[in-house]
Structure 1
Amino acid sequence: MSIAITGAAGQLGHLVIEHLKQKVPANNILALVRKPEQTEVLGVAAKAIDYTKPETLDAALPGVETLLLISSSEVGQRVAQHANVIAAAKKAGVKRIVYTSVLHADTSVLPLADEHRATEADLKASGLAYTLLRNGWYTENYTGFVGAALANGALFGSAGEGRISSAAREDLAEAAVAVLSSDGHDNATYELAGDTAWTLPDLAAEISKQTGKDIPYRNLPEADYAAALEGAGLPKGLAAALASYDVSASQGALYGTERTLSELIGRPTTPLAVSVERALKAL
């Protein structure tokens, strides 16, 4: 079995490789990255690829049986980038592509869901076996604001009482490994939501509980929250995107009741309290 992982130097890719090494020999794992030296600490072979240069993909993929296509981080360019990977995989004789999509991609109101829907369609049209990992939101996307909440004396957002079925990045990495290292997942679609949904007021309450400080949740209009994020130093485009994701969360875009994730990893998903504790320790 030869398994390759795109975006292997990223946070999810790094975790996938660490857990995958516990399931298959390290010499059967290939990290696909822009700079191979980024993966030296992972202890697996690496090849350089560039999504915008098909020739690099053509050179890297021969001999690969299963490919984990971790979605590109370049919003707005992902459809074309992913299409290049799919085409190269087909040319190289890759047997299966596992793709990290987004929860309920087919119906999601998240702005970024459009690109995932397009890539899912390209995979289905390719004729290759595929597995769609429709990942819920990373809990870390929100616990990353714990420090700012403590500094500001409040947690800000635009999600209102929207319920968020997030999971720790490690939970989703383990799910990917479960699929990569076993059979029976061809042409399957998995909705990967955390076991227990929560709201931003719940997150504020958990931060308050663990720190002994009163950290309320302050709900802001989308434009005001985007402005606040930009004022905190985030690029304008990213600030606007994060605010829009919160509004989508208020509309139920990050909520799911499926238990597929915990079934795949063989344990409950990481509780919010544990993720908050980890975030506080990291400050």
Structure 2
Amino acid sequence: MKIAVTGATGQLGNLVVDALLARGAKAADLVAIGRSAQKLEPLAGKGLETRVADYNVEQALISALKGVDKLLLISASEVGQRVAQHENVINAAKKVDVQLIAYTSIANALTGGMKLAEEHIATERLLAGSGIDYVLLRNGWYIENYTDQLMGYLNSGMVLGAAGEGKISAAARADYADAAAAVLLSEEEQSGKIYELGSDKPFTLTQLAGAVGAAAGQDVAYQQMDPEQLEKIYADAGVPAAFAHILVDTDLRVREGALEVNSGDLAKLIGRTPASLGKVIKENLDK
């Protein structure tokens, strides 16, 4: 049984490979697919077969997916380009008879109303029409989306947002990776399953600010922003205008529960309680 991971050199992909190996997968049965041969070298050093392919080049993807039984399609990082890129992967998988595609979608894709979900919804529809068995891993927000900004929070003493008191079921990237590995290695039928993934303990941005302050031993407060003002702050900081708009839209949808997950699916798949917000913050501060 050959299992392939696209985007294997990325932050999530690397963690999925580690989780697959930790769960007993043989390195020789794993195929790591990435755009850079150089970045794939560390994975080859772990015993994996590595194949170079770009989401934009279907022919390269066909070669990279030959002999693969199960594929983890990690969503592309280029917002606005994802649907065409994912379609290339799905078409290539169909041509070489991949049996199952697991796709990293987004939590509450069909009901959350987020602009960020639009390309994920389109990909889910492509999978539904592909004729290939598929399983949806609807990942919630990563805690790392916030811990990557820790120094900014601590230097300013503020967490800025437009999410009000909306709850966010964010979880650590490593826990989502472990869930993906569990699905890929499961002996149970996965075709047609939809996993809504997120932490069992959702938090508000006010609670995020409190947790950051408590871990660092200083005062950090949440500042509710006017959406247009927040979008301007992102743009002034160098965030591309289209993505700044999407980030603010996500905050607005969070107010309505778009990133709150109550399924318990993540804990069930990984067989333990997902890492807490406080634990992930502390680990990042200790680095």
Instruction: Give me the whole-angstrom Cα distance separating, in 1, the residues matched to 2:118 and 2:241.
Output: 21
- Supply the AA of the counterpart residue of 1:30: V
Q: Given the alignment of the two structures, is residue 222 of structure 1 paired with residue 227 of structure 2, yes or no?
A: yes
Any conservation in 1 of the 2:209–2:220 contact (CA below 8 Å)?
yes
Q: Does the residue aligned with 1:126 lie in a helix, a strand or coil? A: coil
Q: Given the alignment of the two structures, is residue 103 of structure 1 paired with residue 107 of structure 2, yes or no?
A: yes
Instruction: Give me the whole-angstrom Cα distance separating, in 2, the residues matched to 1:234 and 1:139.
Output: 20
Match of 1:149 in 2: 153
> How far 1:234 sits from its partner (Å)?
3.1
Distance verdict in 2 for CA 1:281–1:242, change over 3 Å:
farther
Instruction: Give me the whole-angstrom Cα distance separating, in 2, the residues matched to 1:246 and 1:51.
Output: 29
Count the aligned residue pairs.
Answer: 282
Match of 2:237 in 1: 232
Match of 2:192 in 1: 187
Instruction: Give me the whole-angstrom Cα distance separating, in 2, the residues matched to 1:236 and 1:58.
Output: 35
Match of 1:39 in 2: 40
> How far 1:112 sits from its partner (Å)?
1.7
Match of 1:6 in 2: 6
Q: Given the alignment of the two structures, is residue 84 of structure 1 paired with residue 85 of structure 2, yes or no?
A: no
- Output one character per residue of 1:182-206: Cα deviation in whole Å (capped at 9) or x when no partner: 1221211111121101000001111
Any conservation in 2 of the 1:147–1:280 contact (CA below 8 Å)?
no
Give unmatched runs, 5+ long, in structure 1: none
- Supply the AA of the counterpart residue of 2:115: P
Any conservation in 1 of the 2:116–2:246 contact (CA below 8 Å)?
no
TM-score by length of 1: 0.96
Match of 1:27 in 2: 28
Q: Does the residue aligned with 1:16 lie in a helix, a strand or coil? A: helix
Please give the residue correspondences for 1:244-255 in structure 2 after superposition, counting only pairs within 5 Å: 244-255=249-260
Any conservation in 2 of the 1:33–1:48 contact (CA below 8 Å)?
yes
Please give the residue correspondences for 1:122-141 in structure 2 after superposition, counting only pairs within 5 Å: 122-141=126-145
- Supply the AA of the counterpart residue of 1:94: V
Instruction: Give me the whole-angstrom Cα distance separating, in 1, the residues matched to 2:226 and 2:260.
Output: 21
- Supply the AA of the counterpart residue of 1:128: I
Which of 49, 52, 56 pairs up with 2:53?
A: 49
Give unmatched runs, 5+ long, in structure 2: none
Instruction: Give me the whole-angstrom Cα distance separating, in 2, the residues matched to 1:92 and 1:218.
Output: 51
- Supply the AA of the counterpart residue of 2:9: A
> How far 1:84 sits from its partner (Å)?
1.1
Please give the residue correspondences for 1:242-281 in structure 2 after superposition, counting only pairs within 5 Å: 242-281=247-286
Q: Does the residue aligned with 2:115 lie in a helix, a strand or coil? A: coil
Instruction: Give me the whole-angstrom Cα distance separating, in 2, the residues matched to 1:10 and 1:109.
Output: 27
Instruction: Give me the whole-angstrom Cα distance separating, in 2, the residues matched to 1:71 and 1:7.
Output: 8
Any conservation in 1 of the 2:167–2:257 contact (CA below 8 Å)?
yes
Any conservation in 2 of the 1:102–1:136 contact (CA below 8 Å)?
yes
Any conservation in 1 of the 2:109–2:117 contact (CA below 8 Å)?
yes
- Output one character per residue of 1:231-268: Cα deviation in whole Å (capped at 9) or x when no partner: 33433333332222212212211111110110000000
Instruction: Give me the whole-angstrom Cα distance separating, in 2, the residues matched to 1:144 and 1:11.
Output: 13
Instruction: Give me the whole-angstrom Cα distance separating, in 1, the residues matched to 2:125 and 2:239.
Output: 33
Any conservation in 2 of the 1:201–1:217 contact (CA below 8 Å)?
yes
Any conservation in 1 of the 2:157–2:220 contact (CA below 8 Å)?
yes
Any conservation in 1 of the 2:16–2:181 contact (CA below 8 Å)?
yes
Q: Does the residue aligned with 1:190 lie in a helix, a strand or coil? A: strand
Q: Does the residue aligned with 2:232 lie in a helix, a strand or coil? A: helix
> How far 1:228 sits from its partner (Å)?
1.8
> How far 1:37 sits from its partner (Å)?
1.6
Any conservation in 1 of the 2:3–2:184 contact (CA below 8 Å)?
yes
- Supply the AA of the counterpart residue of 1:105: A
Q: Does the residue aligned with 1:112 lie in a helix, a strand or coil? A: helix
- Output one character per residue of 1:98-153: Cα deviation in whole Å (capped at 9) or x when no partner: 00001111212110211111111111111111110011111111222221011112
Q: Which moved more, 1:227-236 or 1:249-258?
A: 227-236
- Supply the AA of the counterpart residue of 2:118: D
Which of 71, 74, 77 pairs up with 1:73?
A: 77
